């Protein structure tokens, strides 16, 4: 019955979506060897990264200049980690990028293998000053924060804090940017755990984990409301919940008290990632339908575009001109989820999509 209701809800969502003419897709950058799931653009440079476990070749973090030249960023040393080497000043496995002003924030899961454990000083949040190309601060997540099985996934900022999702050992990490103190909240709460009745389906096939079971991805996408009051978040498969940021910051609340303050936000379908504009419109990829949708502030969901080229759009980036940058890493096609055989269709592309009608 649950599956039937979910199917009916999705059908209603699709029928109710806008039928306006689709905007055009333009190729922003492409590669024949690197799988990119994260992108940011600043002052003529495009920054790209992809998890090591996808089999991606080249630097963990790549900068592409206005002439199309690729280079390891911020330098070669940060991109030369190998098993057994010190991870304190090197990227182990980048999963997300976030641009805040002139700072590029890099989320390093610290685990070189999918489903593995973070290596010593591997799990971290790295802040790079883009005008000087210098790492200005690194926040390390020790074994009490990035625990065994953790996969530090994505990050958002508010009120002097960073909030990160843990897609492996389900939970949310709250980081004080001034002191560097971090703590875990909502551990294994229903709002951060992938529901057992929502399979991840792409191209009409259920995505399977390496063990053959349907893939489950815990706390993954997240956003901060434009008024700074709420943190929105959920597992990859949805649905999304919300909790007040002041409650996340309140150390006096017990885990039970905080859990009681979690509320339902939206029944967003399985998504590779999201971005929110200054008006509060939530743009997200709909993985099952190769689509980009937008949830308006009144709760209505519209379709911007549906196109087979947009297969597993991961974390989108919205630039100041209102253009979405859409990486298409085709995660379900990598070797890990296909019995060791890569089904990735090259070249790997990042597309432009205007949000203006």
Tens digits of residue pLDDT in 39-81: 999 999 999 999 999 988 899 999 999 999 999 999 999 999 9
> How confident is residue 283, by pLDDT bands cut at 50, 70 and 90?
very high
Please state, for a pLDDT cut of 90, what percent of the chain lies above it: 92
**Taking the domains of the chain in order of start, what are their residue ranges?**
2-354
- CATH 2.40.50.140 at 2-354, yes or no: no
Rounded Cα gap, residues 285 and 271, in angstroms: 5
**In this predicted structure, what is the pLDDT of residue 15?**
41
**In this predicted structure, what is the pLDDT of residue 188?**
97
């Amino acid at each position: 019955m649950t599956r039937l209701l979910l199917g009916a809800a999705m059908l209603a969502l699709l029928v109710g979506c806008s039928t306006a003419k689709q905007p055009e897709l333009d190729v922003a950058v492409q590669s024949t060897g690197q799988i990119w799931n994260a992108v940011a653009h600043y002052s003529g440079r495009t920054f790209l990264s992809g998890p090591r476990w996808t089999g991606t070749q080249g630097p963990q973090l790549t900068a592409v200049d206005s002439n199309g030249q690729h280079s390891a960023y911020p330098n070669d040393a940060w991109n030369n980690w190998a098993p057994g080497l010190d991870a304190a000043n090197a990227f182990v496995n980048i999963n997300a990028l976030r641009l805040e002003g002139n700072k590029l924030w890099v989320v390093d899961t610290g685990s070189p293998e999918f489903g593995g454990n973070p290596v010593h000083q591997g799990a971290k949040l790295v802040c790079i000053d883009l005008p000087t190309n210098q790492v200005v601060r690194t926040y390390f997540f020790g074994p009490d924060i990035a625990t065994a099985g953790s996969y530090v996934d994505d990050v958002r900022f508010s009120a002097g804090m960073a909030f990160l999702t843990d897609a492996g050992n389900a939970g949310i990490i709250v980081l004080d940017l001034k002191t560097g103190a971090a703590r875990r909240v909502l551990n294994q709460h229903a709002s951060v755990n992938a529901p057992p009745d929502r399979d991840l389906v792409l191209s009409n096939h259920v995505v399977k984990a390496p063990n053959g079971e349907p893939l489950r991805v815990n706390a993954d996408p997240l956003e901060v409301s434009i008024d700074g009051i709420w943190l929105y978040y959920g597992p990859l498969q949805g649905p999304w919940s919300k909790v007040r940021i002041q409650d996340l910051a309140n150390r006096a609340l017990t885990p039970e008290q905080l859990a009681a303050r979690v509320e339902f936000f939206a029944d967003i379908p399985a998504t590779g990632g999201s971005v929110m504009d200054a008006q509060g419109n939530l743009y997200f990829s709909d993985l099952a339908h190769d689509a980009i949708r937008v949830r308006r502030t009144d709760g209505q969901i519209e379709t911007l575009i549906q196109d087979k080229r947009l297969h597993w759009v991961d974390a989108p980036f919205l630039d100041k001109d209102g253009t979405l940058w859409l990486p298409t890493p085709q995660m379900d096609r990598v070797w890990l989820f296909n019995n060791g055989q890569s089904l990735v269709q090259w070249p790997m592309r990042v597309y432009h999509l205007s949000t203006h009608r």
